[in-house]
């Protein structure tokens, strides 16, 4: 394991933003590159990428993660782009897993490269995996993700089970007229592989340049459609800052719904996002981020970075998805030409 530089003691009082929300959860995007081109995330032919030289090394990401941990972050999630495209990712997992006081180290992946890497990730200390899967039909997968990789993803899911990952989650973005007829096969598939399915409302953020309100399948509609076939979906009562609301069917199946678009959960949002080049975004919808990577490369150590984070989180009042509800003529947040000029606005840069 790599020796890490400075250390600061965990904060005694939780750091709260202006709306009283703690800093609890950090999503780290380890690369903006991806091996799929999902229609709701990367629909264009060409993209502007982050310069390779700006991408944080594992050591740099670990210093940043330690600074966040010192201010109360207990849950880390690795994401991307496609995180498994980052070479030797298990090494980073090992370095992060060694940070004292972390409760959870998870990853969201499209699963294409999981077969080869699941065992090493488990050994390195990854606690949980979420695999994004929108369809079980090969033809549809090819159309939706513009790559023929369904078989690889399904094999990857099998492998996660074989190497002992439990509490696997499957995230399905619902698009009207594209895959919303698959909610039952997906529920059954999730059960068959011991996973919990989460239905995600199509969001208008990042690369979703083709977003239209009419294409969103709301939580309300989804629940009505599930209940029409499977009977009552009983809400699971739990207190958590997790974005998914969970439901239980009479046969015991539990599933989640993430209704970021129609019923956002900004009031309890304790998560922020770090891009692969160290830019820190306090809201998925935020247009500006704080350049912690630059500060680090200019000589700031862990405690100086922690001071920057503390100051900025203290004045956070973002409620991006709630603010969007007020827009009557709602279209995609950013058009394609703006995304090309500013790739930091992309979902595949921010990590979703
Ligand atoms: N490539 C990995 C994957 O797909 O799991 C990790 C990064 S991806 C940006 C993280 C999550 O964002 C995925 O579950 C994806 O489905 C979700 N996502 C991307 N664009 C979205 C959109 N417009 N609406 C809702 N979810 C979206
Ligand atoms: Fe799809 Fe994830 Fe890649 Fe976006 S980053 S295109 S959601 S696999
Ligand atoms: Fe949090 Fe922003 Fe998403 Fe609201 S829109 S839940 S504040 S990241």
Whole-prediction pTM: 0.95
Q: Which of 41, 78, 129, 215 to mutate to test the pocket of ligand 1 (most atoms within 8 A of CB)?
A: 41
Task: Give pLDDT, residue 333.
Answer: 87
The answer to whether residue 16 sits within a structural domain is no
Task: Give pLDDT, residue 242.
Answer: 81
Ligand 1 atom nearest 41 alpha carbon: 20
Percentage of residues in the chain having pLDDT higher than 70: 97
pLDDT in tens, 32-53: 999 999 999 999 999 999 999 9
- The Å distance, Cα 284 to ligand 3 centre, comes to 6
pLDDT in tens, 322-342: 999 988 788 888 889 999 999
pLDDT in tens, 73-124: 999 999 999 999 999 999 999 999 999 999 999 999 999 999 999 999 999 9
Task: Give pLDDT, residue 11.
Answer: 47
Task: Taking residues 269-275, report their average pLDDT.
Answer: 97
How sure is the predictor about 1, in pLDDT bands with cuts at 50, 70 and 90? very low
Task: Give pLDDT, residue 14.
Answer: 85
Q: DSSP for 311-337?
A: HHHHT----HHHHHHT-SS---SS-HH
Task: Taking residues 116-143, report their average pLDDT.
Answer: 98
pLDDT in tens, 298-328: 999 999 999 999 999 999 999 999 999 988 7
How sure is the predictor about 12, in pLDDT bands with cuts at 50, 70 and 90? low
Q: Tell whether ligand 1 has an atom less than 6 A from the beta carbon of residue 80.
A: yes
Integer CA distances (angstroms), 248 to 69, 197, 225, in order: 34, 12, 15
The answer to whether residue 257 sits within a structural domain is yes
The answer to whether residue 75 sits within a structural domain is yes
More confident residue, 220 or 238: 220
**Which residue's entry shows tokens 């029409």?**
228
The answer to whether residue 304 sits within a structural domain is yes
The answer to whether residue 297 sits within a structural domain is yes
The answer to whether residue 215 sits within a structural domain is yes
Buried b (16+ CB within 10 A) or exposed e, 145-164: bebebbebbbebbebbeeee
Ligand 3 atom nearest 320 alpha carbon: 5
Identify the CATH number of the domain in which residue 106 sits.
3.20.20.70
From 21-25, 99-103, 193-197, 329-333, the region with the lowest mean pLDDT: 329-333
Task: Give pLDDT, residue 23.
Answer: 97
- The Å distance, Cα 352 to ligand 1 centre, comes to 5
- The Å distance, Cα 41 to ligand 1 centre, comes to 7
The burial of 5, by beta-carbon neighbours within 10 Å (0-12 exposed, 13-18 middle, 19 or more buried), is given as: exposed
- The domain tally of the chain equals 1
Whether the Cβ atoms of residue 307 and residue 17 lie closer than 8 Å to each other: no
Q: Tell whether ligand 2 has an atom less than 6 A from the beta carbon of residue 42.
A: yes
Task: Give pLDDT, residue 6.
Answer: 40
- The Å distance, Cα 321 to ligand 3 centre, comes to 6
Whether the Cβ atoms of residue 322 and residue 264 lie closer than 8 Å to each other: yes
- Strand 271-274 to 279-281 pairing: antiparallel
The burial of 84, by beta-carbon neighbours within 10 Å (0-12 exposed, 13-18 middle, 19 or more buried), is given as: buried
Task: Taking residues 153-164, report their average pLDDT.
Answer: 97
pLDDT higher than 70, residue 9: no
Q: In whole angstroms, what is the distance from residue 272 CA to residue 25 CA?
A: 7
pLDDT higher than 80, residue 5: no
**Which residue's entry shows tokens 């940070």?**
99
Percentage of residues in the chain having pLDDT higher than 90: 91
Which residue range is the domain that position 66 belongs to? 25-350
From 181-195, 208-222, 238-252, 293-307, the region with the lowest mean pLDDT: 238-252
For the sheet with 271-274, list strands across it.
234-235, 245-248, 254-258, 196-201, 169-174, 128-132, 104-109, 75-79, 25-29, 271-274, 279-281, 290-291
The answer to whether residue 3 sits within a structural domain is no
Nearest-ligand number for the alpha carbon of 174: 1
Ligand 3 atom nearest 284 alpha carbon: 8
Task: Taking residues 182-198, report their average pLDDT.
Answer: 98
Q: Work out the mean pLDDT of the chain and round it to a whole number.
A: 94
Task: Give pLDDT, residue 243.
Answer: 85
Name which of 191, 167, 195, 193 is nearest 106 in CA terms: 167
More confident residue, 241 or 141: 141
The answer to whether residue 160 sits within a structural domain is yes
Q: DSSP for 28-85?
A: EE--S--S---TTT--SS------GGGSPPHHHHHHHHHHHHHTT--EEEEESS-GGG
């Amino acid at each position: 394991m790599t020796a890490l530089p400075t250390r600061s003691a965990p904060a005694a009082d939780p750091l709260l933003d202006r709306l009283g929300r703690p800093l609890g959860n950090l999503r780290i995007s380890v690369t903006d590159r991806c091996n799929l081109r999902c229609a709701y995330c990367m629909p264009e032919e060409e993209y502007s990428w982050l310069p390779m030289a700006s991408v944080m090394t594992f050591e740099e990401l670990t210093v940043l993660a330690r600074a966040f941990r010192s201010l109360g972050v207990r849950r880390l999630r690795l994401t991307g782009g496609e995180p498994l495209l980052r070479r030797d990712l298990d090494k980073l997992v090992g370095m992060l897993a060694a940070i004292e006081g972390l409760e959870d180290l998870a990853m969201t992946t499209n699963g294409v490269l999981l077969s080869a890497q699941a065992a090493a990730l488990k050994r390195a200390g990854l606690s949980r995996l979420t695999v994004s899967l929108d369809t079980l039909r090969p033809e549809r997968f090819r159309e939706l993700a513009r790559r023929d990789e369904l078989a690889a993803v399904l094999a990857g899911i099998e492998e996660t089970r074989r190497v002992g990952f439990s509490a696997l989650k499957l995230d399905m973005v619902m698009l009207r007229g594209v895959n919303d007829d698959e909610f039952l096969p997906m529920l059954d598939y999730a059960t068959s592989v011991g996973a919990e399915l989460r239905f995600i409302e199509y969001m208008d953020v990042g690369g979703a340049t083709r977003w239209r309100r009419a294409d969103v399948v709301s939580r309300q509609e989804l629940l009505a459609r599930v209940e029409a076939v499977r009977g009552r979906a009983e809400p699971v009562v739990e207190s958590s800052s997790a974005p998914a609301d969970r439901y239980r069917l009479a046969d015991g199946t539990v599933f989640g719904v993430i209704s970021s678009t129609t019923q956002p959960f900004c009031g309890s949002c304790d998560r922020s996002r770090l891009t692969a080049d160290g830019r820190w975004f306090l809201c998925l919808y935020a247009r500006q981020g704080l350049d912690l990577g630059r500060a680090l490369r200019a000589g700031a150590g862990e405690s100086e970075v922690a001071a920057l984070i503390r100051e900025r989180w203290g004045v956070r009042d973002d409620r991006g998805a709630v603010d969007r509800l007020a827009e009557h003529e709602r279209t995609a947040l950013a058009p394609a030409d703006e995304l090309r000029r500013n790739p930091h606005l992309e979902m595949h840069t921010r990590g979703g």
